Structure 1
């Protein structure tokens, strides 16, 4: 069974390759037309399904939940202090000077 599918796949790839290279040209020579069909009688099938009754809602329950308490404490945190030398250019001033802009 796998061999048949493999052969059909290979044939399809060969056909697609031949069409893309212009070796095969498929063109429609006649318009298609649906047959005239008369429908009479018949009956759709009937079904009956027994399903469960599902109720969705809320109810009050007592459960244990964790609580978080906030309190202020003094702790040491990292701090950065920069003392620039007097007359040192800031990044913005240095960039303006490089661009030829003399405004400060």
Structure 2
């Protein structure tokens, strides 16, 4: 029930917005007339009456494509040579450099693999 009520409210708000923006124009072209109702011992009889008539004009939405030239910025990425703190930022401590492994220092490295002996 709540869902139906919510949908009904959204439809009413949509119609109000369409009329307010000029997208939907509703004009009544014929007024309504109530029927003549007579009650008798045989029952109730209704004659005549007229439903209203409306002229509805809706806006149009045109969708299309066009080609346009768009300027794009060029981006150049360079690796940072040194780290510099941003202006106004506290300096960051530099990471400690790890000593190079013995194999990179050119020394003899003992091996435990039997195939290399």
Shorter chain as denominator, the TM-score bin is 0.3 to 0.5
TM superposition score normalised by structure 2:
0.33
TM superposition score normalised by structure 1:
0.37
Could you say which structure has the higher strand fraction? Answer: 2
